[in-house]
Amino acid sequence: MHISKNLSIRRKQMLIMMATSSVALLLACAVISLYEVFAFRDTMRENLVTLADIVDHNTFAALDFDDPQAAGETLAALQADPSIVGAWLYRKNGEVLAKYDRPNDNIIFTPPELRPNGTLFQGQRLVLNRPVVHKGEVIGTLYLEADMQALYGRLLRFAWIMGLVFVASLLFAFGLSNRLQRLVSDPILHLAQVARSVAGDKNYSLRAKKQSDDELGQLVDGFNEMLAQILQRDAALESARVGLETRVIERTAELAKANAALLLENTERKRAEESLLLLGTAIDQTKESIVITDAELDLPGPKIIFVNPAFTKMTGYNEAEVIGKTPRILHGPRTDRALLDRLRENLGHGRVFEGEAVNYRKDGTEFDLEWQIAPLRNAGGKITHFVAIQHDITRRKQLEAKLFQSQKLETVGKLAGGIAHEFNSILTAIIGQSELLLGDLPAGSPLAHNATEITKAANRAATLTRQLLAYGRKQILKPEILDLNSVLTGMETTLRHVMGRDADVRLSFGPGLKAVKADAGQMEQVIMNMVINASDAMPNGGKLVLETVNTVFDDQSVGRYPELKPGHYVMLAITDTGTGMSDEVKTRVFEPFFTTKDVGQGTGLGLSTCYGIIKQSGGHISVYSEPGRGTSFKIYLPQVESRAQPSVVRLDSPDLPGGTETILLAEDDPALREMAATLLRRLGYNVLTATNGVEALSLKHQRNIGHIDLLFTDVVMPHMSGKELADRMQAMYPRTKILFTSAYTENAIVHQGVLPPGVTLLQKPFTPSALANKLREVLDRPDVPKSEDA
Amino acid sequence: MHKPDSKALKRRTGKLSRLAMACLGFMVSLLGPASGFGGEPPLTQYQVEAVFLFNFAKYVDWPPAAFTNATAPITIGVLGTDPFGDSLQHVAEGKTINGRPVTIRHLVSDSELGGCQILYISSSENFRVGQILGKAGALPILTVGESELFVANGGIINFVLKGGKVRLEINLAPAKKNGLDISSHLLAVADVVRGKSD
């Protein structure tokens, strides 16, 4: 059955028909055979009975008259029927009268026991046993036995016929079925073919051909109807789809429109949100403290409802701590009550109020702030809130103070410079007159001492004046492109000498240091002053660090130095580990004549001079100090683009012209004297030093030190001016050459008659190289006898 | 109907039944008819002849004139010394042939012949058998005797002993003459002879 499921409908039909035919035929054959068997048996039985009747009829007499021979002859006639196996005829008393055995039968026929009368199929035999009755009297018994060979032979024949009939019928049935099944299968196959085409091509316009009016015809009708319906439905679906698509397109358009509107709205909202967010961010991130309060002016006052982070940063109060409180919590003893009253009054009138006040942080410290408090009005014009924008001006105040200090220094400097300038003229006159006086006095006159004192005092005043001039930025500067590292290198030996052995001097050069534009000599003087100052601060030794570095001041950092412009600078820091200074000293350290040293130990003009020089060079100088730990001066000079020319030659450079001549050095400024002496010795010269002219002369007088090739003297010195000293020296040693030095310009000095024209003057401050070169120039000048003096 | 389970079984039962039959047959032959069929003693000559006398009535048709009516008995007359004893009486007792009872009559004289359908002429009457037959031969009577000359004297059936068995000689001419129709069956078991009258 499983196999037959996948067969084609034709084969199935054939199978069904053939199976049915076979079964029917088999049944028919079986029934016929069975019937035949029974019929034949009946026939056999009848035949046997008939035979028995014949035998009876012919053996009556033999039985009646006990004639075995006659009986035997009669029985022998049974030979005519080959199916008779045997026959026995019994007498009435049971004795055998006659018997018959089928001839040529290898079966030995044995006399059977007397049996009930009648016929009986017994195994493969049919037996008959019956009394022989004659004239109503039983005269004997007849026994007949027949075999079934005939039956079987007949059945075999019958079977053959049946088989042939069966095969022929099947063949016929096959042929017939094969033709007839088409009646059913052809329409089905056709239908299947059409269905396949429809399914394959999706062509619902195909139609199956109706071949009959039976159920198959109805099926084809149904199928065609279905196709028609599908076609209709497809059309309906298509039109619905088209309608739907149209609707979708319409809806999409509407949606797009709505979407665009939404997008626009969204964009606007987003813009508004962004704007709000931006506003919020601005408020959150601005450095201005913003406080919003309600508009309650009556006591206890408006309540804070909003503060921004800058407020917290400014005051130390966080949002939770101030919300609901009044701004009074920020007020303290130094808060101006009158200002608050004015504020309240202004706000009461709906006016914006601006002012400065002192407030107090959470930790109790004061800070200065600038207020701008404005009422906020709602759409109806009613004041609903106040907003306070508070700007911490503590720093500005500090800067203002600094600027004030700086301006003060400036003013003082200008004043000092102006005075010094006037004083210069006056002092020139005084010195000149006193020297004239001294010259006119006879030797040994007691007035000479007075005149000398006048000259000394005037010289001291001149020195101060010179320093004041420096401070007042009235000096004549010769700015050049400088490399501060080179300047420091050139000064290193001198600096170490000045600092003494106990001090540890370190130089730290910033890499790629930019050049600055300044007067080299002045810069050396500034550095020297600073170092001397540090040396004084470290009487027991310590560490001195000089470092250079490029630095940039932007708009923000320049705020710390109100006088500075933003830009690129070179910084020179001079840091000691000395005693340091108090804040008070620190604020006044650059003031002229301010000194912590004992009277007579310093003029109080050193740092002022530095200040003036740096300022005059467009730079700035600041000081940072901690008492007991040390002081750091920082000098800022604007960078210049071009590389510095090595204008400052190293002291120990072999290029510096030197010599072996003997030089007498007269200089009242110990630092300068020391510096110059060291330099000259290094250059190979034999150097004699004197603090003033008198000492110089006495030195010459006291010790016979031989020929002095050159006198290097300051013009303005106490006790004896450089001019006098030079004159005296030349009077004694006409071949001694003279080199003057002065902070005054040659023009000024010569013009004012301090020095005669034609003398050689080395303008202070001078660089080591300038000194060396100038010295060599004077020494190498051919001797020109001073005809004028003579 | 016998329905064997298999061919082999069928073959076996066939053999068995044949064997059983052979055994049975052997036993029957051993025991003899005595045990097999009632064990009656063998009939004597006259007992056989008595049966034959009676049986003749079955094979002979008498003309209707031989009987007084349709149900008149068939009378067997014994003339002469009766050799049968009561066996003839015994054979015929209670039986009918063709609806007629059979009666036995012992005759003493020839005059008593009429009314008999079968006449047995005892050998004691052999001396005058011709006489008797002459008388009887005019009547529809089946004459039966046992002598060598019986047929020659016009008797119809004569008992002959052949091989210890009683056999019959039949002379058809007297029978036909007297209107007796003797069945061919009877003729088949008898020797048909001719009388002198023919």
pLDDT in tens, A694-749: 888 887 776 666 788 888 888 877 777 788 888 888 888 888 888 888 766 555 56
Residue A781 three-state SS: coil
Q: Is the model more confident about A721 or about A651?
A: A721
Strands, E assignment, A178-275: none
Chain B residues touching A66 at Cβ < 8 A: 48, 165-166
pTM recorded for the entire structure: 0.39
Contact (CB<8Å) A60/B185: yes
Contact (CB<8Å) B58/A90: no
Chain B residues touching A96 at Cβ < 8 A: 33
Supply φ then ψ for residue A149, to 5 degrees: -50, -45
Q: Side chain identity at A188, as an amino acid letter?
A: I
- For residue A547, what are the β-bridge partners? A508, A573
pLDDT at A788: 40
How far is Cα A361 from Cα A335, in angstroms, rounded to an integer? 12
Q: Please, are residues A485 and A433 in contact by the beta-carbon 8 Å criterion? A: no
Phi-psi domain of A473 (left: phi exceeds 0; alpha: psi -120 through 50; beta: other): left
Contact (CB<8Å) A61/B21: no
What is the pLDDT confidence band of residue A292, given thresholds at 50, 70 and 90? Answer: very high
pLDDT at A307: 92
Q: How far is B123 from chain A (nearest CA, A)?
A: 21
Q: How far is B25 from chain A (nearest CA, A)?
A: 6
What is the pLDDT confidence band of residue A119, given thresholds at 50, 70 and 90? Answer: confident
Q: Which one of A64, A66, A122 has the shortest CB-CB distance to B58?
A: A64
Distance of CA A489 to the CA centre of its chain: 48
- For residue A665, what are the β-bridge partners? A689, A712
Q: Does A67 touch chain B (CB under 8 A)?
A: yes
Has residue B8 got a pLDDT over 70?
no
Has residue B19 got a pLDDT over 50?
no
Q: Does B52 touch chain A (CB under 8 A)?
A: yes
Q: Does B12 touch chain A (CB under 8 A)?
A: no
Contact (CB<8Å) B25/A124: no
pLDDT at A560: 65
Q: Does B32 touch chain A (CB under 8 A)?
A: no
What is the pLDDT confidence band of residue A212, given thresholds at 50, 70 and 90? Answer: confident
Residue whose structure tokens are 């099944």: A181
Distance of CA A681 to the CA centre of its chain: 65
Contact (CB<8Å) A65/B18: no
Eight-state DSSP code of residue B144: E
pLDDT digits (tens, 9 = 90+) for A508-537: 888 888 888 888 878 888 888 888 888 888
Q: Give A393-404 as a DSSP string.
A: -HHHHHHHHHHH
Q: Please, are residues A662 and A595 in contact by the beta-carbon 8 Å criterion? A: no
How far is Cα A510 from Cα A571, in angstroms, rounded to an integer? 9
Chain A residues touching B167 at Cβ < 8 A: 67
Q: Which one of A65, A95, A108 has the shortest CB-CB distance to B189?
A: A65
Contact (CB<8Å) A94/B33: yes
Has residue A428 got a pLDDT over 80?
no
pLDDT at A659: 83
From the list A335, A397, A391, A323, the residue with the least C-alpha distance to A360 is: A335
Contact (CB<8Å) B14/A123: yes
From the list A496, A488, A491, A494, the residue with the least C-alpha distance to A516 is: A488
Q: Strand B157-162 relative to strand B142-145: parallel, antiparallel, unpaired?
A: parallel
pLDDT at A132: 86
How far is Cα B152 from Cα B133, in angstroms, rounded to an integer? 10
Q: How far is A208 from chain B (nearest CA, A)?
A: 59
Q: Does B31 touch chain A (CB under 8 A)?
A: no
State the average pLDDT over residues B34-51. Answer: 67
From the list A695, A767, A722, A774, the residue with the least C-alpha distance to A463 is: A722
Give, in order, the Cα–Cα distances in Å from A107 to each of A101, A350, A418: 9, 158, 185
Q: Does B38 touch chain A (CB under 8 A)?
A: yes
What is the pLDDT confidence band of residue A753, given thresholds at 50, 70 and 90? Answer: low
pLDDT at B25: 42
Has residue A409 got a pLDDT over 80?
no
Query: pLDDT exceeding 90 applies to what percent of chain A?
Result: 3
What is the pLDDT confidence band of residue A114, given thresholds at 50, 70 and 90? Answer: low
Mean pLDDT, chain A, rounded, equals: 81
Q: Does A300 touch chain B (CB under 8 A)?
A: no
Contact (CB<8Å) A110/B24: yes
Give the tokens for residue B123. Answer: 């050998």
User: First CA to last CA across chain A, in angstroms?
Assistant: 163
Distance of CA A653 to the CA centre of its chain: 56
How far is Cα A274 from Cα B3, in angstroms, rounded to an integer? 113
**Which of A104-113, A174-183, A238-247, A466-475: highest mean pLDDT?**
A238-247
Give the number of residues written for chain A: 790
State the average pLDDT over residues A137-157. Answer: 83
Give the tokens for residue A387. Answer: 């907003």
For A454, half-sphere exposure in the C-beta direction (CA atoms, 13 angstrom radius) is 18
pLDDT digits (tens, 9 = 90+) for A574-609: 999 888 888 888 878 887 777 776 655 556 677 888
Residue A324 three-state SS: coil
Q: Does B22 touch chain A (CB under 8 A)?
A: yes
pLDDT at B33: 39
From the list A196, A189, A178, the residue with the least C-alpha distance to A219 is: A189
State the average pLDDT over residues A422-437. Answer: 74
pLDDT digits (tens, 9 = 90+) for B124-183: 888 888 888 888 888 888 999 988 888 888 889 999 988 888 888 998 888 888 888 988
Contact (CB<8Å) B189/A67: yes
pLDDT digits (tens, 9 = 90+) for A460-490: 777 777 777 776 666 666 778 888 888 888 7
What is the pLDDT confidence band of residue A112, given thresholds at 50, 70 and 90? Answer: low
Residue A104: burial class (beta carbons within 10 Å; 0-12, 13-18, 19+): exposed
What is the pLDDT confidence band of residue B196, given thresholds at 50, 70 and 90? Answer: low
pLDDT at B41: 67
Give, in order, the Cα–Cα distances in Å from A44 to each of A47, A84, A316: 5, 11, 142
pLDDT at B198: 45
Q: Strand A515-518 relative to strand A480-482: parallel, antiparallel, unpaired?
A: antiparallel
Contact (CB<8Å) B25/A111: yes
Q: Side chain identity at A738, as an amino acid letter?
A: I
pLDDT at A572: 92
Choice among A15-29, A106-120, B69-83 with the minimum mean pLDDT: A106-120
Q: How far is A161 from chain B (nearest CA, A)?
A: 24
Q: Which one of B24, B55, B189 has the shortest CB-CB distance to A113?
A: B24
pLDDT digits (tens, 9 = 90+) for A567-583: 888 999 999 988 888 88
Q: Please, are residues A684 and A678 in contact by the beta-carbon 8 Å criterion? A: no
Give the tokens for residue A8. Answer: 């084609």
Contact (CB<8Å) A60/B58: yes
Q: Strand A710-714 relative to strand A737-742: parallel, antiparallel, unpaired?
A: parallel
Q: Which one of A60, A65, A110 has the shortest CB-CB distance to B25?
A: A110
pLDDT digits (tens, 9 = 90+) for A218-235: 888 888 888 888 888 888
- For residue A574, what are the β-bridge partners? A546, A633
Q: Please, are residues A145 and A100 in contact by the beta-carbon 8 Å criterion? A: no
Q: Does A93 touch chain B (CB under 8 A)?
A: yes
Q: How far is B4 from chain A (nearest CA, A)?
A: 9
State the average pLDDT over residues B192-198. Answer: 66
Q: Which one of B18, B167, B188 has the shortest CB-CB distance to A61?
A: B188
Q: Does B39 touch chain A (CB under 8 A)?
A: no
Q: Which one of A65, A93, A112 has the shortest CB-CB distance to B21?
A: A112
From the list B52, B57, B11, the residue with the least C-alpha distance to B181 is: B57
Has residue A440 got a pLDDT over 60?
yes
How far is Cα A489 from Cα B57, in angstroms, rounded to an integer? 197
Has residue A246 got a pLDDT over 70?
yes
Q: Does B3 touch chain A (CB under 8 A)?
A: no
Q: How far is A132 from chain B (nearest CA, A)?
A: 14
How far is Cα A569 from Cα A510, in angstroms, rounded to an integer? 12
Q: Does A149 touch chain B (CB under 8 A)?
A: no
Q: How far is A24 from chain B (nearest CA, A)?
A: 25
Has residue B40 got a pLDDT over 80?
no
